Amino acid sequence: MAERLDQPKGKRTSLRERFLPRRNDDAFGRASEGIARFMGTPRFLVYMTIFCVVWLAWNTWGPEHLRFDSVAIGFTLLTLMLSLQASYSAPLILLAQNRQDDRDRVSAEQDRQRAERNLADTEFLAREMAALRIALGEVATRDFVRSELRNLLEEIEAGREAAGRDASEPDEPAR
């Protein structure tokens, strides 16, 4: 059967995509962060210390036929277990640090954008205040209005005094 040229090809899927479940990197990252966070607590150190003490005590003083790690060969199995734990914990800690770096990067970008908005808002408010100052510079102030009213009052009083003097002076007799 010939392919139709007027139809888009269907999505090709690989064997891996068909048979393996999709992995959720975010869920794995969250789990690794949880493990790394737990490994950095005093509780983990206490648990690990108790585990090692019990291991050493059991394999040193426990019943001979139930011991599984020999003192004679230097607790090889314990050394292997601790090495395995360390080999897994280092990459988990690095993964958790990488995720934290990504979060810090996003947070820093958001902080930068917020700072830019704040700067733009501050510049806008500064321009508005400058415009208000210029507009207020053209408005008469209270002190200016008072001084003008005082001057006007003094002129009116001077005019009244002059008018009062003119009225109190006798007219010169006509000749």
Helix 42-61 to helix 25-39 angle, to the nearest 10 degrees?
A: 70
pLDDT digits (tens, 9 = 90+) for 23-48: 677 888 888 889 888 988 999 999 99
Say whether 22 sits in a helix, a strand or coil: coil
Summary count for the chain: helices (H), strands (E): 5, 0
Q: 3-class DSSP state for residue 21? A: coil
Domain ranges of the chain: 20-167
Structure tokens at 137: 């510079």
Tokens of 152: 């006007």
More confident residue, 159 or 172: 159
d(CA 38, CA 88): 14
The contacts of residue 78 (CB under 8 Å, 6+ apart) are 52, 55, 56, 59, 69
Q: pLDDT digits over 65-111, tens only?
A: 999 998 888 899 999 999 999 999 999 889 889 999 999 999 999 99
pLDDT given for residue 22 in this prediction: 64
Give 141 or 50, the one with higher predicted confidence.
Answer: 50
User: Which amino acid is present at 103?
Assistant: R
Tell me which amino acid residue 65 is.
Answer: H
How many Å apart are CA 119 and CA 116, to the nearest integer?
5
Band of residue 16 on the pLDDT scale cut at 50, 70, 90? low
Residue 19 has pLDDT above 80, yes or no: no
Contact between 77 and 51 (Cβ < 8 Å): no
pLDDT at 163: 84
Q: What is the pLDDT of residues 100-147, one digit of tens each?
A: 999 999 999 999 999 999 999 999 999 999 998 888 777 777 888 899
Q: For 127-157, give the DSSP string.
A: HHHHHHHHHHHTSPPHHHHHHHHHHHHHHHH
